[in-house]
A and B are shown apart, each in its own frame.
Chain A
Amino acid sequence: MPHKFIFTGLSFEMDDFRIENNIRTLRFHHQEMTQQELADSVGVTRQTINAIEAAKYSPSLELAFKIADVFDVPLEEVFSYKKF
């Protein structure tokens, strides 16, 4: 069955696939880092971190790598592309 593409601005996503993240868990394991602290580390606003964490917004590749760098883990430990 052909997949339907939904244009979300910075990324394309298929309707039965979704980018998930472990940012909330990783923040907890890093001395309960706040969203603001993470936002300051990667140079974005707290609102952007909140939108990424809630999977409402898919970050650019550069921002995704920066977030992974803050937690000192590979990118695939922060973000995953999953079928739901």
Chain B
Amino acid sequence: MAAAALRLAGVSVGYSGRPVVTGVDLELRPGQRLALVGPNGAGKSTLIKSVLGLAEIIDGSATVLDRAPAHARAFTGYVPQTGNLDPDFPVSARQVVMMGRYRRLGWWRPARAADRRAVTEALDRVGLADRAGLRFGLLSGGQRQRVLLARAIAAQPRLLLLDEPFNGVDAVSQEAIVRVLRDLSAAGTALVISTHDLAVARDLADLVCLVNGRQWAVGTPGETLTAGPLRQTYGSSAIDLADGRMVLVEP
């Protein structure tokens, strides 16, 4: 049997010994799409960073393709939130995507035809081949997110983690991102997508993990995105509608 892309068993993660999320138990197989759902500040980013070896695993065991997270970076890809990046930084979309190849290139070996092709292909897949020469900061929020996705694709990861990829993203970009993510998982890449958008989670994920300080539920969207688990996760900001549906009000 193939190794699980991601296996978390009784995991608590945090910083400097202080847990941010506790009791996470889940297993993700190659090609599966996991949505991490919870309110802002629930610890979704910290959980993602722990899988990348950037946040501390305080308790339990975490493996990526049967390796410790810090030793699996050759196989993991990461799409950060664009809001944390300096829009004035003088770097073009193409240069950002080429960063995805640095691991193969090393420090100073010139990019080869295969690298340039991978970069062009990745930009093409996210629909931004015609924007390659533009400065990153001149692109719209959704386009920046797509460039960061292209950078991750160019590295050809087996497990791809995306931190709120649909935050502040226009409809065209959201559609492009969803299409690329479906293609990637069809090709065997496992995906972890953090989001506070329940509609996206229901539409895109095979597996949903509800977190807010701890794991409240894990399972299919049908099992987890229901009144009981959502009320546990979101507390008083989850409001039942009369027809059995539920809305979330972010405080």
A binds B: no
Contact surface of B with A, Cβ cutoff 8 Å? none
Contact surface of A with B, Cβ cutoff 8 Å? none
